[in-house]
Amino acid sequence: MSSTLVILLVGGCVAASCALLGCFLVLRKMALMGDAISHAVLPGIVIAFLLAGDRSTLPMVLGASVLGVITVFLVEIGTRSRRLQEDASIGVVFPALFSIGVILISRYAGQVDLDLECVLYGEIAYTPLDLLYWGDRVLGPRALWINGSILIAVAAFLFAFYKELKISTFDPALAAALGFSPVLLHYLLMTMLSITIVGAFESVGAILVVAMLVVPAATAYLLTERLATMLALSTALGVASSTVGYFLARVLDASIAGSMAVVAGIFFATAFLFSPSHGLVAKAARHRRLGLGMAEQLLMLHIGQSSEPRSGQVSRGCEIDTLERRFNWRPSKLQKVAKRLERQGWLDRVQEGRLMLTAAGAEALERTGQAPLTHALQAED
Amino acid sequence: MLGLELSFTARNVLLGATLLGVVGGVMGCFAFLRRQSLLGDALAHAALPGVCVGFLLTQSKSPLPLFAGALVAGLLGSLVILLVVRFSRLKEDTAIGMVLSVFFGIGIVLLTYIQKLPLGNQSGLDKYLFGQAATLMPRDLAVMAVLGLLVISTIVLFFKEFKILCFDPEFGASLGFPMRRLEVLLTLLLVIVVVVGLQTVGVILIVAALVMPAASARQWTESLAVMLWLAGLLGGAAGAAGAMISATVERLPTGPVIVLISSSLLVLSLLLAPGRGLLWSFIKDRRLVHRIQRENLLKDLYVIGERAEGGSWSGWEQPVPWPMLMGVRGQSSPQLSRVARRCRRRNLLSREKDGVRLTEDGLRAARGIVRKHRLWELYLTRRLELAADHVHRDADAMEHTLTDDAVAFLEEKLGFPTLDPHGQPIPALEEASR
Amino acid sequence: MNSEVAEAVSTGPGGREREPAVEVHDLTVAYHTQPVLWDVDLVLPEGELIAIVGPNGAGKSTFLKTILGLIDPITGWVKICGAGYRRRRSWVAYVPQRESVDWDFPTSAVDVVTMGIYGRLGWFRRPRKHDRELALECLDKVGIADLADRQISQLSGGQQQRVFLARALAQQAQIYFMDEPFAGVDATTERAILSLLQELRNQGKTVVAVHHDLHTVAEYFDHVVLLNMRLVAAGPIRETFTEENLQRTYGGKLTVLTQATEDLLRARAGDPSLQQPTGPPPGQS
């Protein structure tokens, strides 16, 4: 296997597991728990290192999972005590645990084959060199085995608990009433998250794993309304970020993990701006259109009201100045709205500075009534 | 002792750490109260690419361009968070996590890119990651001091406005204060503090310098002004102590040590602070539970004795058998014996061969409780007839909380009754004929 | 009664003609593209207790906030005593919903009341001793002067609402805008708030309150605004607060309320005189 392929596969596995779990983090408003756990597992990894004396996988996964659960637990203690809000609780727990990890690393620097650079950037570039043996036989790159297994575990977990996770994410009370313990699910999810983070830790580092967790899921959330689609999209975006990120890193001769995060960020920015349903551009256009529609309707309503023929007088329409004053609009806005209505043939300029409904306009106004077009407006946004 | 003979480096570290502790502590109070503790975390991470760009543009490591870069990048980060929350369906936590990790990713890319440039002076930029207080130079300290002073004096100047921004921004706006602009100012100050902390504790641990002293200080006081002072004090103390310890012990990085000292202070504050301390409220809760259990037991014994002998003293001289007592409230034997033991310790109860018996003290106490209970019951039923909507529930809880004054008042209101609504006698405080 | 409050209360902005307290013209407000208020035209008289009534989501709070300049309308404008909000800011006091703030904030009752004076202080100036005294007097007027130094999280719901009212009093305004001042308070506090509002009215002030309890509208208020995105009706209680108008405001949701309407109209006929509160409810202080 070429080393490029190995790196791409490892990156893909990490990105996919993170992206899958990340969807639930984003939907449960727990993105920052991902951040907290990714930092807080450090002491667990270091202790496992010190106890096992080498980089065996099992102790590390175990150590990290224990620390992950401890983090969740501590944050909950802080919140439950009602002395700290959730944000503060997260903000004190993970720096404390991370600090313990950093101190352990610097105290035992000689014995630990783990440096702070690796904690931050990961060392995905070295994964092809670190092989797993079974007796004398070479099974292949260790990281690939680990992250591959984690991906399978995450997928199996989601497959097994899909329905329960979905319900407890959208309606925890209902889930509890149906007999699925939200607490148990919460801790299961957090344990899976910790395991995923350990796997990713070595490859992309503590902070960039947050990018893998949060960014593809957030991007997918802007593109779809369905959970299943969101999971698929998020995975695809995660894998794409890691692949494109790798080649970007080669071009720039820079950190691979960092480039992956950058690419994920670019994907997000694109979706944020141009998503057909939730993008900024589409939204702005829609707001403009609906805003204008509302303004048109209001204008017609007023001209209609004030030009109702009163006791024999012939209606002479409505003065633009009066309208401006009443609506408190800029003159340019009034002109624009009036022009649009004129083009539709609903409004007429009787003389200079006067507006009047045409027959078609009066009819249109009759049709819509005086209430706002809520059905049209509510359908969107 | 070290005393005045600190080395040049140690003195710089001490100054830097104390400075950050004070400024971070004061500034952190606002972040803490506005529930934006993790915004500081995001801004710190977001500052990294700014530092790199600052270096790339000037190719020097003098503090000003690096700080300026960090400042701009931090502000950009906060702007992105604002935009994402405002214009998409994503919540603040996701926006923070995203800015934090993506900006940091950009920073890492730039950092690794810079490290491979043939410049020669680029090493040491990564000290901003974990902080390397030992590399602090007097010129760095000077910039930090100026920035810190700027932050503190702005807070002093706008104290009233910031206070209303944190407590009730809508009301503040109705008074005519430009709340949006004040918010921007506060974020700007936060970014400045983050920049001050970059070299001392590094991007990852700055959040602790912000949140921990503020959270600790909050436990000790109910006044914002005092909280700011205390947080500054606690932060400064943790910074100084951390710097000293890491200077004296080998291979102890400054930042993490400061964080651990701060966390210890926080744990102590959470447990011990008067009023809010968890330990005190735990003790208070336990005391209340014990008292209720005790009073219930005494009441049960009184009622049993009353039933046995129609209210004469001899009824309470008979020991009450254990199983009978357990039956009253369906308590388990160990539960009940714990309560009984606590009563015995107060000399309210004596243990006999075939059960327990109220002592004279115990009988007096029991009479008082039953009196309260029956008076309250009577009051409730009478009031029920008078005005149904004025009845307070929790009749059972009331007998444990009614004060003597309130009982006297009740008795007078009810016209010194002798029987409760069920026809049971209401015992007098002191039985005249014993 | 303290002199400073009394003075501010008795001297109106003298020498002007009786103008309507609030004039609202062609007001349309939307969140994004969702209209919340649609084409509201309204004049509120001076010196009366005015209730804004309507179902949930009818835009009542939005209406208040728009008058106070906290939300920009799409069309229309608002005048307070004949001028825009900016020029009349010092004539106006605002009582937001109690749930809108964090009551665990480290501050005391008297401190919150002092915030009502911040507007007059302007930038940079700190409240002085006499400002604090004024705040204490306002707390006294709402009957909780003894709780002045209590931390606000230790106050009951009713007491918190009184603190907010005291803060509005400290603003020494002509018009008081209140968002659900009776929400979630105990019976004693409700009486106390009501008598305070009546006192304000008797001194010639205007009170505009969002109110959710249809049972008490007719008993408590002089004037009513029925709102459900659009203005349904506005005017004196006797003419406006009719079953027909309520039906139009609440639509089908009103069936349960019909009995209540009858009750309150009967209550209105009796017009019970309301007594001064005797003190904080038992078990609170």
Confidence of residue A181 (pLDDT cuts 50, 70, 90): confident
- Nearest one of A54, A25, A51 to A38, comparing CA atoms: A25
CA-nearest residue to A85 within chain C is C104
Confidence of residue A261 (pLDDT cuts 50, 70, 90): very high
CA-nearest residue to B402 within chain C is C283
The pLDDT, as a whole number, for residue A200 is 83
CA A165 to chain centre: 18
Q: Crossing angle for the helix pair C187-202 and C157-170, nearest 10 degrees?
A: 20
Fill in the amino acid letter for A48.
A
Domain C3-270: CATH class, spelled out: alpha beta
| pTM for the full predicted model | 0.81
Question: Rounded to a whole number, what is the distance in Å from the CA of A52 to chain B's nearest CA?
Answer: 23
Mean pLDDT value across residues B66-82: 91
Whether the Cβ atoms of residue B46 and residue B170 lie closer than 8 Å to each other: no
Relative to beta strand C230-236, strand A131-134 is: unpaired
> Which of A81-95, A280-294, B43-57, C155-169 is predicted with the least confidence, judged by mean pLDDT?
A280-294
User: CA separation (Å) from C247 to C39, C232, C252?
Assistant: 20, 10, 7
Whether the Cβ atoms of residue A20 and residue A230 lie closer than 8 Å to each other: no
The pLDDT, as a whole number, for residue C68 is 86
Question: Rounded to a whole number, what is the distance in Å from the CA of A202 to chain B's nearest CA?
Answer: 16
Q: Is residue A195 one of the residues assigned to a domain?
A: yes
The pLDDT, as a whole number, for residue A306 is 67
Q: Is residue A357 one of the residues assigned to a domain?
A: yes
Residue A76 predicted with pLDDT over 80: yes
Among A185, A218, A251, where does a domain finish?
Answer: A218
Q: A287 and C77 in contact by Cβ < 8 A? A: no
Confidence of residue C16 (pLDDT cuts 50, 70, 90): very low
Confidence of residue B423 (pLDDT cuts 50, 70, 90): low
Q: A298 and C75 in contact by Cβ < 8 A? A: yes
List, in order, residues 6 or more apart from A289 with CB less than 8 Å away. none
Whether the Cβ atoms of residue B214 and residue B28 lie closer than 8 Å to each other: yes
**β-sheet bridge partners, residue B129:** none
| Residues C47-75 pLDDT 10s | 888 989 888 878 888 888 888 888 888 88
Q: C108 and B173 in contact by Cβ < 8 A? A: no
Token pair for residue B267?
A: 């744990």
- How much of chain B exceeds pLDDT 90, in percent? 30
Confidence of residue C277 (pLDDT cuts 50, 70, 90): very low
Residue B188 predicted with pLDDT over 60: yes
Q: What angle do CA A85, A90, A91 make, to 5 degrees?
A: 95
CA A3 to chain centre: 32
| Residues A188-245 pLDDT 10s | 898 899 889 888 877 778 778 899 999 999 999 999 988 999 999 999 999 999 999 9
Residue C5 predicted with pLDDT over 60: no
- The CATH architecture one would assign to domain B283-413 is Orthogonal Bundle (1.10)
Of A211, A221, A254, the CB nearest to B113: A254
Residue B82 predicted with pLDDT over 60: yes
Q: Is residue A264 one of the residues assigned to a domain?
A: no
Q: C33 and A287 in contact by Cβ < 8 A? A: yes
The pLDDT, as a whole number, for residue B390 is 42
Looking at the structure of chain A, the number of domains it has is 2
Confidence of residue A380 (pLDDT cuts 50, 70, 90): very low
Chains with 3 or more CB pairs under 8 A to chain B: A, C
Q: Domain of A339: which CATH number?
A: 1.10.10.10
Q: Is residue A252 one of the residues assigned to a domain?
A: no
* Residue spans per domain, chain B: 8-206, 283-413
Mean pLDDT value across residues A6-16: 91
Specify the higher pLDDT residue, C282 or B26: B26
| Residues A21-68 pLDDT 10s | 999 999 988 888 888 998 888 888 888 888 887 767 778 888 888 898
Q: What is the ipTM of this complex?
A: 0.86
Burial of residue A50 (CB within 10 Å: 0-12, 13-18, 19+) is middle
How far is the C-alpha of B375 from the C-alpha of B405, rounded, in Å?
13
Chains with 3 or more CB pairs under 8 A to chain A: B, C
Q: What SS3 state is found at A303?
A: helix
Residue A120 predicted with pLDDT over 50: yes
Residues belonging to chain B: 434
Confidence of residue A308 (pLDDT cuts 50, 70, 90): low
The pLDDT, as a whole number, for residue C12 is 42
Q: Crossing angle for the helix pair B322-329 and B278-309, nearest 10 degrees?
A: 120
- The CATH architecture one would assign to domain B8-206 is Orthogonal Bundle (1.10)
How many other C-beta atoms can be found within 10 angstroms of the C-beta atom of residue C218?
23
Is the torsion defined by CA of B107, B113, B115, B121 positive or negative?
Answer: negative
Q: Which 8-state DSSP code applies to residue A246?
A: H
Q: Which residues from A are below 8 Å from B91, CB to CB?
A: 29
Each as own residue / partner, the long-range contacts of residues C264-273 (CB below 8 Å, 24 or more positions apart, any chain) are C264/C214, C264/C215, C264/C216, C264/C217, C264/C218, C264/C219, C265/C218, C265/C241, C267/C218, C267/C219, C268/C218, C268/C219, C268/C237, C268/C238, C272/C219
A292, A327, A336, A378: best mutation site toward chain C, by most C Cβ within 10 Å? A327
Domain, as residue range, for A116: 3-218
Give me chain C's average pLDDT, please. Answer: 78
Token pair for residue B179?
A: 């709340």
A→C interface, C-beta within 8 Å: 286-287, 290-291, 294-295, 298, 301-302, 326-329, 370-372, 374, 377-378, 380-381
The pLDDT, as a whole number, for residue B430 is 59
Specify the higher pLDDT residue, A234 or B342: A234
The pLDDT, as a whole number, for residue A1 is 61
Q: Which residues from C are below 8 Å from B175, CB to CB?
A: 89, 118-119
Q: Where are the beta strands (DSSP E) in A253-378?
A: 318-319, 347-349, 354-357
Q: What SS3 state is found at B2?
A: coil
CA A217 to chain centre: 5
| Residues B137-181 pLDDT 10s | 888 888 889 999 999 999 999 999 999 999 999 899 888 889 989
The pLDDT, as a whole number, for residue B358 is 78
Mean pLDDT value across residues A131-152: 82
Q: Is residue A338 one of the residues assigned to a domain?
A: yes
Q: What SS3 state is found at C225?
A: strand
Note whether A46 and A185 are same-domain residues.
yes
Question: Rounded to a whole number, what is the distance in Å from the CA of B406 to chain C's nearest CA?
Answer: 10
